[in-house]
Structure 1
Amino acid sequence: MSDLDPRRLLLLVDVVRAGSLTAAATRLSYTTSAISQQIAKLEAEAGQPLLERHARGVRLTEAGGALVRRAERIELQLRAARSELDDIAGLRSGTVRLGTFPTAGAGLLPRVVKDFKSRHPAVSLTVRSSRFAALRAMLDAREIEMSLLWDYHWAPVADTDLVVRELLVDPPMLLVSAHHRHADRSSIDMTELADEQWITREDTHPVGEALERACSAAGFSPSVAFAANDYQEAQAMVAIDLGVSMAPRLALSNLRDDVRVIALRGAPARRILLAHLAEHRLTPAESQLSDTFVAVAA
């Protein structure tokens, strides 16, 4: 006995429902001879008769009845699979696994999620937050399908294994206390800040390097008063006049009342990116989420 062809199993179900080979052929737009040949091949695969022909149609043998019961289950599963695929294609179900980093998670992501969920409430979103290297590793491990990333001009994301979509340019801002002499300024140049004490991020954070480069380009080296672990801690130190700080605009979604923000000229901006593996083909839900990021970022 050879392997059973599932298409012939489903044809057997059609014949039984139609009541005869001729009726099944008419319903399926085949010739009766073609239907008969396929049933004969199925019987050869089964190694025993499946149908008994009689004057008014066909009757299942015991073996035929067993196969029809199994085939009907296969038919139900195929219908369920098609329905599930249609739901995914129509964004009536599905899951998107997304990576983010803290400042994007606080500033950009909530608006995107709110917009996306309002239009596609049946699609489940799961989010992992981490730093660049960990997010990149999660993409490789298929723990996430898409991720927000960032880069600066001196270290661009140029990974050929990734498809990268630029969402926005995130400009640098200067943070000063409400009582600082520059608190009422709307913009300021790095060259005006050579005498300031600085609140920066701990040494390995990208904004620390961005500050060093900006100060160097302005002709001075920053005098660092405090290295903060996060932007809220940096704001707290700025608020008590321990120093001034530089931060990307997206990092300022939760701004203290006693801190002022000034547009900063002469400092590098970072790009905010949405990336996925080049070998990963975006699902309809992922494509819609990507477009939502672009729309919100704009």
Structure 2
Amino acid sequence: MDVQRLLIFREIARTGSIAGAARSLGWTQPAVSQHLRHLERQAGTPLVLRRPRGVQLTEAGQALLRHADAIATRVQAAVADLDALVQMRAGTVRLAVFPSAGATLAPAAMSLLARRHPGLEVRLCTAEPPQAVARLVSGEVDLAVTFAHAGEETPTPGELVRVPVGEDPLRLVLPLSHPCARPPDTPLDLRELAREKWIGGCERCTAHLRRACEAAGFAPDIRHSTDDYVLTQALIACDLAVGLLPRLALHAARDPGVAVRPVAGMRPRTLHILHHREADQIPAVRATVRALLDTAARVLTAS
């Protein structure tokens, strides 16, 4: 049965007449009568008895009215739910971020979003960029915050949009006792660390470290491998190796036993937000992207 006709029939029953329903709906009386006739043909039986001063429901009409009332309640609930989502009084956004962004950008952005739109909920998970993109493509998450190193090929699946977030410089991390630990703000040439033991990170970060060292004329002696930036710094603080960490990771946690220096000639990694093309039409997703961008503009310049 046509839902609209059921709701028109409900209005006829509520007002007690076709004329009353027409006034309530803002329609003409013939239009309401026509919808009632169509509904009665679909039902296969009369639903009302026409009286000089209105209508009286038949037994079939009384039975159908109970269902029409239930449908009207569900339609009203659906309208209320959609209105809450559009007005961002409700909604859920699933967000995947890489670990150092999860420790810095994501909490601040979620806090900002909670102040702007208290009804929105963000569900966070951490994943390195390839895994985050895979989750986004499969529909497990709505947004993914990723990074790419300079010179790295990072193709974006055709159904996704990539939004630039900002740049995150890379830093050399050394033991405090290392001869190259000072001065802290002066860029250090990688060639000065050619004989050192190194710590690798995730697969992509380790590949970038190898490329950077090879460009400087040597192959790094990678003795340890971890994508845990706290463990990386702990190993360095104990004079076991040197490493390369993004500034966001150092902003998230800084071991007092390490020294940090810029890298001469090394370009920063770039950060992006990825989402499906049509997702920017969803108010909750659009608001979350805005909160992430506003947070990144502050955090990336302050870290």
Seen in structure 2, the aligned counterparts of structure 1 residues 12 and 229 have a Cα distance that, compared at 3 Å, is: closer
SS across alignment from 1:44: helix
Scaled by the length of structure 2, the TM-score of the pair is 0.90
User: Which of 26, 42, 52 pairs up with 1:29?
Assistant: 26
1:10-25 superposed matches below 5 A? 10-25=7-22
Number of aligned residue pairs: give it.
294
Tell whether the 8 Å contact from 1:190 to 1:215 is kept in structure 2 after alignment.
no
SS across alignment from 2:274: strand
Match in the other structure for 2:173: 175
Deviation at 1:175? 0.9
Name the CA distance, whole Å, in 2 between partners of 1:7 and 1:142: 34
Match in the other structure for 1:73: 70
Tell whether the 8 Å contact from 2:191 to 2:218 is kept in structure 1 after alignment.
no
1:222-261 superposed matches below 5 A? 222-252=220-250, 253-261=252-260
Deviates more, 1:178-187 or 1:136-145: 178-187
Seen in structure 2, the aligned counterparts of structure 1 residues 107 and 211 have a Cα distance that, compared at 3 Å, is: same
Is 1:152 the counterpart of 2:131? The answer is: no
1:277-288 superposed matches below 5 A? 277-278=276-277, 280=279, 282-288=281-287
Name the CA distance, whole Å, in 2 between partners of 1:70 and 1:271: 57
Deviation at 1:282? 4.3
Scaled by the length of structure 1, the TM-score of the pair is 0.92
Identify unmatched segments of 5+ residues in structure 2: 298-303
User: Which of 68, 84, 88 pairs up with 2:85?
Assistant: 88
Name the CA distance, whole Å, in 2 between partners of 1:282 and 1:187: 46
Name the CA distance, whole Å, in 1 between partners of 2:111 and 2:208: 32
Match in the other structure for 2:268: 269
Is 1:138 the counterpart of 2:117? The answer is: no
SS across alignment from 1:188: coil
Tell whether the 8 Å contact from 1:218 to 1:266 is kept in structure 2 after alignment.
no
Name the CA distance, whole Å, in 2 between partners of 1:22 and 1:223: 89
Opposite residue 66 of structure 1, the aligned amino acid is A
Name the CA distance, whole Å, in 1 between partners of 2:39 and 2:224: 79
Name the CA distance, whole Å, in 2 between partners of 1:196 and 1:93: 56
Opposite residue 215 of structure 2, the aligned amino acid is A
Deviation at 1:122? 1.6
Deviates more, 1:63-72 or 1:267-276: 267-276
Tell whether the 8 Å contact from 1:167 to 1:272 is kept in structure 2 after alignment.
yes
User: Which of 194, 211, 214 pairs up with 2:212?
Assistant: 214
Tell whether the 8 Å contact from 1:176 to 1:245 is kept in structure 2 after alignment.
yes
Name the CA distance, whole Å, in 2 between partners of 1:213 and 1:137: 25
Deviation at 1:291? 0.8
Deviation at 1:220? 2.8
SS across alignment from 1:79: helix
Tell whether the 8 Å contact from 1:173 to 1:247 is kept in structure 2 after alignment.
yes
Tell whether the 8 Å contact from 2:167 to 2:268 is kept in structure 1 after alignment.
yes
Match in the other structure for 1:297: 296
SS across alignment from 1:187: coil
1:101-140 superposed matches below 5 A? 101-140=98-137
Deviation at 1:217? 2.2
Tell whether the 8 Å contact from 1:49 to 1:61 is kept in structure 2 after alignment.
yes
Deviations 1:124-173 (A, max 9, x none): 21122122332222112211111111112322333223200111111111
Tell whether the 8 Å contact from 1:196 to 1:243 is kept in structure 2 after alignment.
no
Deviates more, 1:46-55 or 1:227-236: 227-236
Opposite residue 238 of structure 1, the aligned amino acid is I
Tell whether the 8 Å contact from 2:191 to 2:217 is kept in structure 1 after alignment.
no
